[in-house]
Amino acid sequence: MLKGKRIFISGGNGVIGKELVQQLHEAGAILFVGDLKPRPLFWDSAIKYRQGDLNYITKEELDDFAPEYFFHLAATFERSVETYDFWYENHKHNSNLGTHLMTLLKDSNSLKKIINCSSYLIYDPKLYSFDEPAEKAYSLKEDDPIYPRNLTGVAKLQHEIELRFLNGFNREKYKSVSARIYRSYGKNSRDIVSRWIRMLLKGETLTVYKKEGLFDYIYAGDVAEGLIRLAANDDAEGIYNLATGKAQRVSEILDALRTHFPDMKTVEKDIDIPFEGSEANMDKYEALIGWKPQKRLADAIPLMIEHEKQYGYQDVEMEDEANVLITSLSKKVALANAVKTAGNKFGTHVKVFGGDLDSNCLGSHFVDGFWEMPRLDNLTIDDLVAYCKKNTINAIIPTRDGELPFWAEHKAVLKENGIHVMISDAEAVDICLNKLLFYETTKTQQFPIIPTTKAIDELDSDLFVVKEQFGAGARSIGIALDKTAAIAHAKQLQNPIFQPYIQGVEMSVDLFIDQSNELKGIVARTRDVVINGESQVTTTIKDAQLEEICANLAMAIGLYGHVVLQVLKTAEGTYHVIECNCRFGGASTLGIQAGLDSFYWFILEANGEKIGAYPFLRSNKTIRQIRYANDTYQQL
């Protein structure tokens, strides 16, 4: 079933998701899996994986994969009573996520079927909740009254109705089916069966509530098979229950566990909730599919015990996300917001810290935490590591030329402490910061570097550019000066260098080089309006020859991370590379808008992810960025 089909799975690294991925992969399906949690180490490399919050996945990412089937498993829930704080979590990861994903997919030309994981929680609880233990479970049918008993149920019902709405317009393009899943359980789960197994392996006493309760327990592997059968059946659409159809009491879990843990100890406690007595009516499903789940608790519990003994419980979902530090934050608000977006895309708990000498810097109002950093010559590595570990920071993004040598020098030591810096090695940084060295290093490799010298007489030009040899090129620059004026201007600089003045279109090229010294992505842009050396208006362009020159140059130097090259292109079509900045630039956020997802890629690499599976999806549209002052408001 579904061999060779292109399948996108949201929440594919959960308990049901892992079973689904395994079965589909073994069947020969082509898979794209998205989940908040890191990629399982044992998964085949052929399975395309995207770690991060799918609320931030783009239409371009999904269109690039072109799924024929979409299994929507991603969801959040709380085991018993939903807490007050669950209000927003449910909205973001249940209600909003389902809507977001279908907004991206609803007009897809490839999509044939949506398989939505719904829940029996949408049924009216009056049907199956009792003041006294039920003699037998109520068999819930697909057309029974609905009245969701909690926020999770509301979100599940909302998505069912949204799919029904979309189906009314797109039924000729694709079908949708919603499986109302009952009490699923499985390996490495937080369900009651798994929790009790873990407690018993530790010799702990089980606390039992309402052991007379009746639930339709369905093993995660059977859920996966049931979903696949719904996907593969051309006639399956609409609503279907998915469970065994035969409820089991909580006491039957205990009986099954006792056969493996004869010394098991339990204590019963009362709780002020009704007795449940529910099971799925599987007539509709079985009539169409000719199958229904058969695995009972006694069949599955030995598999789960063996899994726990062999692998233990890996609660990846509950671990703190690693945080990010932006240094020399100053007034780089757009940059801070871009890093926050990347952090949110990676995971739900990533915090962005900013560091600067000035505690009142503008950027401090736009980060999750602020560090009034000491001067770098007063900052010891021990103090830096201590601050990062205290705030679970494992990724640092330097943003000022003057600090780059510091981070390059200590890059290796920081990495040994689990802290990754988006900085090239010291030798490459020196080449970029020293414009004369940059010219001398690259001219021998046949790159079109603009001639640079400390002796103006070595240049054959009528007009000159004079600038500082080190640091930012725009500082105290003199442009289009004759020889006399150029020499006079040079006397005002500390380490002057001369370049010929060449008329042409000013361009910046943003690119990202990954840890393997491979080009991840590249975006060129014209510098339409430049103030104090930074583009206030800049527009993306496509220029394959320019991109090839800049990519080869950056890799030849051995750069890493986000890099910006400044280039002139003459009316005759010749290129002159002026300089290279081995950091994120002031207007480089345009590159992000165009698909150069540098901060996201860096955060992934800092957390051990191989980013080869995360494609560079260059926007096909021309994008112009206009940078301007903007007011924002914060309630204190």
For the chain, percent of residues with pLDDT exceeding 90: 89
Q: How far is CA 567 from CA 372, 580, 584, in A?
A: 36, 9, 16
Tens-place pLDDT, residues 258-267 = 999 999 999 9
Q: Give the type of residue at 16.
A: I
Count of CA atoms in the C-beta half-sphere (13 A) of 598: 29
- CB atoms < 10 A from the CB of 105, how many? 20
Contact 464, 481 (CB under 8 A): yes
pLDDT at position 622 over 90: yes
Q: In what order do the strands lie in the sheet with 624-626?
A: 575-581, 561-569, 505-513, 519-531, 534-541, 624-626
What mean pLDDT is predicted for residues 207-232? Answer: 96
Dist. CA 566–CA 563, nearest whole Å: 10
Contact 118, 230 (CB under 8 A): no
DSSP, collapsed to helix, strand or coil, labels residue 313 as coil
Contact 457, 440 (CB under 8 A): no
Radius of gyration of the chain (CA): 30
Tens-place pLDDT, residues 239-262 = 999 999 999 999 999 999 999 999
pLDDT at position 411 over 50: yes
Q: Which residues of 599-617 are buried (b: 16+ CB within 10 A; e: fewer)?
A: bbbbbbbbbebebeebbbb
Q: Report the pLDDT value the prediction gives residue 318, as an integer from 0 to 100.
A: 41
**pLDDT bracket for residue 329 (50, 70, 90):** very high
pLDDT at position 150 over 90: yes
Q: Report the pLDDT value the prediction gives residue 235, as an integer from 0 to 100.
A: 96
Dist. CA 506–CA 533, nearest whole Å: 11
DSSP, collapsed to helix, strand or coil, labels residue 604 as helix
Count of CA atoms in the C-beta half-sphere (13 A) of 326: 30
Dist. CA 28–CA 22, nearest whole Å: 10
Tens-place pLDDT, residues 513-559 = 999 999 999 999 999 998 877 889 999 999 999 999 999 999 999 99
Q: How far is CA 497 from CA 454, 460, 463, in A?
A: 5, 15, 14
Tens-place pLDDT, residues 450-465 = 999 999 999 999 999 9
**pLDDT bracket for residue 316 (50, 70, 90):** low
| Mean pLDDT, the chain, integer | 94
Tens-place pLDDT, residues 154-164 = 999 999 999 99
**pLDDT bracket for residue 471 (50, 70, 90):** confident
Strands 238-242 and 183-185: unpaired
Structure token pair of residue 451? 């001639």
What mean pLDDT is predicted for residues 576-588? Answer: 95
Phi, psi dihedral angles at 575 (to 5 degrees): -110, 145
Contact 32, 9 (CB under 8 A): yes
Q: How far is CA 39 from CA 92, 316, 593, in A?
A: 22, 11, 26
Query: Angle formed by the axes of helices 381-390 and 404-416, to 10°?
Result: 60
Q: Which of 228-237, 282-291, 431-440, 467-476 has the lowest mean pLDDT?
A: 467-476
**pLDDT bracket for residue 472 (50, 70, 90):** low
Return the closest-CA partner of residue 575 out of 596, 547, 533, 554. Answer: 547
Could you tell me the end-to-end alpha-carbon distance of the chain, in angstroms, rounded to an integer?
57
Return the closest-CA partner of residue 108 out of 168, 166, 179. Answer: 166
What mean pLDDT is predicted for residues 437-455? Answer: 93
Structure token pair of residue 439? 């010219």
Return the closest-CA partner of residue 486 out of 504, 463, 470. Answer: 463
- Beta-bridge mates of residue 566: 508, 579
Residues whose CB falls within 8 Å of the CB of residue 212, separated by 6 or more in sequence, listed in order: 133, 134, 249, 250, 251, 275
What mean pLDDT is predicted for residues 404-422? Answer: 97
For the chain, percent of residues with pLDDT exceeding 70: 98
Dist. CA 564–CA 588, nearest whole Å: 8
Q: How far is CA 185 from CA 25, 36, 586, in A?
A: 21, 20, 50
Dist. CA 140–CA 127, nearest whole Å: 8
Dist. CA 315–CA 304, nearest whole Å: 15
- Beta-bridge mates of residue 181: 119, 242
Length of the chain: 636
Residue 453 DSSP class? B
